[in-house]
Structure 1
Amino acid sequence: MLATPGTLPTGPEWVYEVKWDGMRLLADVADGVLHLLTRGGRDVTASFPELAALTTVAPDVLLDGEVVLLQDGVPSFAALADRLHRPVPRPRTPVTFMVFDVLRLYGVPIEERPLHERRATLERLDTSGVPTLALSPTYTDGRALWEATARRGMEGVVAKRRDAPYGGPGWVKVTHRHTQTCLVGGWRPGRGVLLLGVPDGDALAYVGRVDARTAEQTLSDLLSGSERASAPFAERPPRADAAGVHWYEPVVAVEVAHLGWTAEGRLREPAFRGVRADVEPEEVRREG
């Protein structure tokens, strides 16, 4: 389930969590075997060997959470994205799986139960054998959490209705900064420049360019084999943006921070944050 962008709701029917700046994953343990799945169904178990002990939580369980990589006590999305493309057998800095929901336990689906029941079930699980697992804390004062996350430079807050089943409209996200997931339609190798698009109906709208020199090797690996002869955008980008660019099928997703949108539908001052290997192209949409 994805949270809907909005304003911070208030009232006793809501609880609040930190919006972690990480990667959303389902941890599916069946017959004692773990599979870590992105929201698009991609299996990334091999990328996070430090989560192997999740099989000790229960022989059959489905957990929803977010993998985060902490740097100076604050999640770093860029460092996490790099791990996906260069998995290491013994990572120097282990990730933490911040779990916030349980959808199945001992073969019984429980996603239709209200959040407060699922949370109580989650808190009864014995997670002591998994040092890389943490329960995402819940809070009753959304405004105080909003202010605290702003001071720490964190991404924002998610509000959830206590009585909501999983998959309903009862999750609202409120962020301190603008971010947008885009599809790569062009790349200028050696210069690190990406030309970005966002789906608009059946077309791909050009939304601007961004400097991604920090991810040159990763982009080279991901874009290999998807080059095309012409731009994939509905309208060809300006000549200055397109000079020296190689065109690609829009199948690689990246995330950028930005300062809003121009009247022409371009991102204002986009800054590259990392590759979104957990996002499928059909999931990308304009986020405000």
Structure 2
Amino acid sequence: MRLDFCGSSVRVAGATLLAGLVSLLFPSSARALDALRTGVSPIIAAYDASREVDVELVLAVDISQSMDTDEQEVQRAGYVSAITSPDVLEAVRFGPIGRIAVTYLEWGGVDEHFIVANWTVIQDEASAASFAAQIAESPLRQVQRTSIASALTKAVEMMQTNSYNSMRQVIDISGDGPNNQGGSVTKARDKLLTTGVTINGLPLMMKSSSNAWQAMLNLDQYYEDCVIGGPGSFTIPVRSKEGFADAIKMKLVMEIAGLQMQRPLVQQAADRKPVQCSIFD
């Protein structure tokens, strides 16, 4: 949501534009360029039309200890409901290709990543229901720390090593606290954004009225300043359990359809004091 007209930003923008053009004309070459930038070896396969999708979407879900069992169950149910909803399926159908590739990743501390539902093509009710069932039936987990930096790095790696081609790659990351392990989240984010990915946020603020620490943090502002980035990036804060499913559905529809908000749901950085992103790193 912020534009910084400095030399480094222009260079990053140029690299992103070049990667976008190469991705459009030569999808396999684009993955090779990504590999050179990040050091991740891509899967290069023969062209297969069935591997073309409108968007590659990683649902990266926080399972740190601050997420109690009740919140995790609400979170799971929200994703299951949203993925199988008529609104999300309609957004999928109206894409140029009419299908998306999606995976559900749970994350905690550094290298604590659990693929609950691996890459799946969703194009109709049956494929959506099958993917949602994997999420619903997986046992709940809980880990100690919160490394948003590690989760973002893993998500980009999963995109670069799958066998799908798309015009857009989106990470949908949800969490109820700041990065507290794995180094600087902003440095990790800025490096990953050079691959052309978009990072959207779902800050979970359901405890902000009873948890003084979380209320003081202004997690929605933290996500805006320190976590999200890329073309059309946005955050949707979740402030109640009752509104969780609707927030996820809105977010998925916007990501799948490639929509952008006319106005942000939180204050722009220029209108308030910027968050100190490194305070918990």
TM-score range, shorter chain: under 0.3
Higher relative contact order (CA 8 A, sep 6+): 2
Bigger CA radius of gyration? 1
Q: TM-score, structure 1 length as denominator?
A: 0.23
Report the structure, 1 or 2, having the larger helix content: 2
